[in-house]
Amino acid sequence: MIQVVREQKGSISVYKLSGNISEDTHFDDVMGPSNPEMEINCKGILRINSMGVKAWIKYFQTCQKSGTKLNFSECSTAIVEQINLISNFTCGGTVESIYLPFSCLSCKTELSGLFKTEDLKKMKMNLPTLKCTKCSGKAEFDDIPEDYLAFLGQ
Partner 1 sequence: MSGNKGNESLKKSLILLSERPEDKVFAEQVCKSTGLHLKTTAETEEAVQALSQDAHPVIFVDGSTEKLYTNFEESVGKTLGIFSEKVQPNAIHFLTDDEVSQAPFLAQSQILGNFVTRDPEDSIASGRHYGRIVKAATKGTPFDLSEVFQKDAKTQAIEIESVTHKQKTLEAVKAYLLAANWTPRTANRITSSVDELLMNAFYDAPLAAGLTSDATYPSLNLNEISKRANVTLRLAFDGVYFGVSVTDFYGSLDKGRLMKHIAKEFSKSEYKVKASSFNAGIGLSIVHQTGGSLLFMSQTNVKTEAMLFFKKTDKFKDFKRQFRFVSTQFYF
Q: Are 2 and 19 in contact (CB under 8 A)?
A: yes
Q: Are 69 and 34 in contact (CB under 8 A)?
A: no
Single residue of 14, 18, 20, 129 touching partner 1 by CB under 8 A: 20
Q: Which stretch binds Zn ion (CB under 5 A): 76-84, 94-102, 106-114, 118-126?
A: 106-114
Alpha helix (H) residue ranges in the chain: 27-31, 50-65, 77-85, 117-123, 145-148
One-letter amino acid for residue 141 of the chain: F
Q: Are 148 and 142 in contact (CB under 8 A)?
A: no
Residue 70's Cα: distance from chain center in Å?
Answer: 13
Per-residue contact string for residues 130-149; x = within reach of Zn ion by CB under 5 A: --x-xx-x------------
Per-residue contact string for residues 49-88; x = within reach of partner 1 by CB under 8 A: xxx-xxx-xx--x---------------xx--x--xxxxx
* Contact residues for partner 1, defined by CB under 8 A: 1, 20, 22-24, 46-51, 53-55, 57-58, 61, 77-78, 81, 84-89, 101, 103, 108, 110, 142-144, 147, 150
Q: Interface with Zn ion by CB under 5 A: which residues?
A: 104, 106-107, 109, 132, 134-135, 137
